[in-house]
Amino acid sequence: MPTPLVNPFTEFKLTAEEELQGRILTTGQKCVIQNMRSRYAQQRISLKYDPDKASQFMQEDAELQGQIVLLTFLLDTSDEAVAEHLRLKIETNSPNKGE
């Protein structure tokens, strides 16, 4: 069971299995995150540069880029966790285990 850790941020001590399972997104979660990423990407490519508001443009672009990068990271992390879970399952069920 996750154990809260004492530090300035909310963090939990997890077993390796809890960490792996926690990284795996459901199909619905993946769809929602992909839709969010798509909307942010559309917003980013729709930004119009105004030389009089260059700083505002750069801030909006950076914010959207950061959101896209984070959502991509979550999707990639989930895919990696699924692959790791399958690899561990195959290794555990391998007839040559222990050789």
Separation in Å, CA 40 to CA 18, 26, 46, 71, 72: 30, 21, 10, 10, 11
* pLDDT score of 99 more than 60: no
> By three-state DSSP, how is residue 22 classified?
helix
**What would the pLDDT profile of 2-59 be if each residue is shown by its tens digit?**
888 888 888 889 999 999 999 999 999 999 999 999 999 999 999 999 999 999 999 9
Q: What are the strands, taking DSSP E only, across the chain?
A: 3-4, 12-13
pLDDT surpassing 70 at residue 97:
no
Task: State pTM to two decimals.
Answer: 0.83
- pLDDT tens for 55-86 read 999 999 999 999 999 999 999 999 999 999 99
